[in-house]
Amino acid sequence: MPQVSLTVNGKHATVEVEARTLLVELLRGNLGLTGTHVGCDTSQCGACVVHVDGQSVKSCTMLAVQADGASVTTIEGLAAADGTLHPMQAMFREFHALQCGFCTPGMVMSAIDLVRSHPEGLTEAQIRHGLEGNLCRCTGYHNIVKAIAAAWPLMQDRQPAIAAE
């Protein structure tokens, strides 16, 4: 079986996997990072979004061997070591941008990439368009859009958001 060596949330890991293992399976099953969710197995819902070398990727569409040598960030890797939430996480909490929470990890990861790719700012239409690959069945997206808009200036200043309680 092939070995995959990668850095996940700042920690190096080498895992032996079957060649057909998906990145989401490696993260959840082999590394115990269950914040990345499997929602549909068809890349339609976005619950499995992680960052691979700084870009959002639906981890249910990527083989683990394709991540060999890569740096992967999951929802578990966003908060600072002292518990300070990433600005996007803090704004999702502040604006009540979640209900059941199932889509939230993938939504947050996608939103961070969306903000990073628009340093000049984001309109509501751009935010809604940028989230088209992420499904939420609970919220209606209104508060998610508000949270992303509020996180944008915080992320530009790179200020810590809110310490965990």
Residue 47's domain comprises: 3-75
Q: What is the mean pLDDT of residues 125-134?
A: 94
* Across 20-24, 35-39, 73-77, least confident range: 35-39
Quote the crossing angle between the two packed helices 104-116 and 87-94, to the nearest 10°. Answer: 120
Q: What is the pLDDT of residue 140?
A: 82
- Contact (CB, 8 A) for 21 and 82: no
pLDDT band at 28 (very low <50, low <70, confident <90, very high): very high
Q: Which of 18, 52, 75 is the last residue of a domain?
A: 75
Same domain, yes or no: 91 and 70: no
Q: What is the mean pLDDT of residues 38-54?
A: 92
If one counts the domains in the chain, the total is 2
Q: Does residue 27 form part of some domain?
A: yes
Q: Can you give the CATH number for the domain in which 152 is found?
A: 1.10.150.120
Q: What is the pLDDT of residue 164?
A: 42
Q: Can you tell me the distance from the alpha carbon of 4 to that of 125, in angstroms, rounded to the nearest whole number?
A: 39
Same domain, yes or no: 109 and 134: yes
Same domain, yes or no: 111 and 65: no
Q: Does residue 80 form part of some domain?
A: no
Q: Does residue 64 form part of some domain?
A: yes
Same domain, yes or no: 101 and 145: yes
Q: Does residue 120 form part of some domain?
A: yes
Same domain, yes or no: 66 and 110: no
Q: Does residue 100 form part of some domain?
A: yes
* Across 21-25, 71-75, 105-109, 159-163, least confident range: 159-163
Same domain, yes or no: 58 and 105: no
Q: Which of 50, 75, 100 is the last residue of a domain?
A: 75
User: What pLDDT digit, counting tens, does each position of 91-121 carry?
Assistant: 999 999 988 989 999 999 999 999 999 998 8
Q: Can you tell me the distance from the alpha carbon of 52 to that of 148, in angstroms, rounded to the nearest whole number?
A: 21
Q: Can you tell me the distance from the alpha carbon of 14 to that of 111, in angstroms, rounded to the nearest whole number?
A: 29
Q: Which of 27, 51, 75 is the last residue of a domain?
A: 75
Other CB atoms within a 10 A radius of the CB of residue 45 amount to 22
Q: Does residue 162 form part of some domain?
A: no
Q: What is the pLDDT of residue 68?
A: 98
3-state secondary structure 36-83: CCCCCCCCCCCCCEEEECCEEEECCCCEHHHHCCCEEECHHHCCCCCC
Q: Considering the entire predicted model, what is its pTM?
A: 0.91
User: What pLDDT digit, counting tens, does each position of 149-158 carry?
Assistant: 999 999 987 5
Q: Does residue 38 form part of some domain?
A: yes
Residue 41 has pLDDT above 80, yes or no: no
Q: Can you give the CATH number for the domain in which 35 is found?
A: 3.10.20.30
Q: Does residue 103 form part of some domain?
A: yes
